[in-house]
A and B are shown apart, each in its own frame.
Chain A
Amino acid sequence: MEIQKPLKRGLLNGLSITFMMVKVIVPCYIAIEIIKHSGLIDIISRACKPFMTIFGLPGEAALSLVAGYVINIYAAIAVLAPLGLPAKDVTVVALMLGICHSLTIETPITKKTGANASLLLLVRIVLSLFSGVVLHLVWK
């Protein structure tokens, strides 16, 4: 089996892929920083607070959900962990955010593959909300 050729091809592919990803991701990171400082997350999560009972969650969990949707799972966990919620609540948030998270980064990436990114974005949000309601109702 040849070694040099595949090695070279793999290296070149990897470098060009990384370069492409950096071009997609850096603007997203800048956008996320701006969103973080704009107070937008707080405004949205305050508006969502009353609806948290649909998922059997306390109002404070809204911030975690919105942070997870817009920023990423690490941001969501940073605000969720101090709440010290019971296992059921944490699992509901985990399922909802597992299905739908980091939308500012993953939607542009999805678009790069050529798939219909806005339709997939809608599917993720709907499935996330739906699964949260169902898990809350099933887990008694």
Chain B
Amino acid sequence: MILNALRDSLWLTVKLLLIILPLTISYEFLKERGLFSGTKPFFFMGITRPGLLPLITGVIIGLTYGAGVIIHAIKEHKLGKREVFLILLFLSVCHAMFEDTLLFVVIGANGLIVVVARLILAVVFTYLAYRARLFET
């Protein structure tokens, strides 16, 4: 039982290294070219340009594999508490959109409905939390 857990953990560590290292390295190169500067609010959800990086990372590769990059980007750009909440609210509903969806499509789910519904819910609730001035600090 504990062995099982250790084996799973070890395997996950290898996967994490394989996924996180290329991400953090390419992140440093992109930053070198000034891709993440600027604080103009991004469309209508109270998320700034540096906040887009953790958002997109999470939506594509998910919370577990993306967490490292998400946490690092939040600390490095000193994103505010409110923005962090909005990003995580969006990601809670809408992350790992490829992996999660494909797994269910394989056993017969309609992937389009799942993706569209999650995106709409994420946008609507993040917007509502933004407009409701939730967690103003």
A residues contacting B by CB (< 8 A) are 1-2, 6-7, 9-11, 13-15, 17-18, 20-22, 24-26, 29-30, 32-34, 37, 73-74, 77, 80-81, 85-87, 90-91, 93-95, 97-99, 101-102, 105-106, 109-110, 112-116, 120, 123-124, 127, 131, 135
Contacts of A110 in B (CB 8 A): 63, 88, 92
Separation of A112 and B23 alpha carbons in the complex (Å)? 19
Contacts of A14 in B (CB 8 A): 17, 20-21, 23-25, 68
Shortest Cβ gap from A74 to chain B (Å): 7
B residues contacting A by CB (< 8 A) are 1-2, 4-6, 8-9, 12-13, 16-17, 20-21, 23-29, 31-33, 63-64, 67-72, 74, 81, 84-85, 87-89, 92-93, 100-101, 103-105, 107-111, 113-114, 117-118, 121, 125, 135
* Contact A90–B107 (Cβ < 8 Å): yes
Most buried by A among B17, B68, B103, B111: B68
Q: What are the 3 tightest A-B residue pairs by CB atom distance, in nearest-first order?
A: A17-B68, A10-B25, A94-B104
* Contact B12–A25 (Cβ < 8 Å): yes
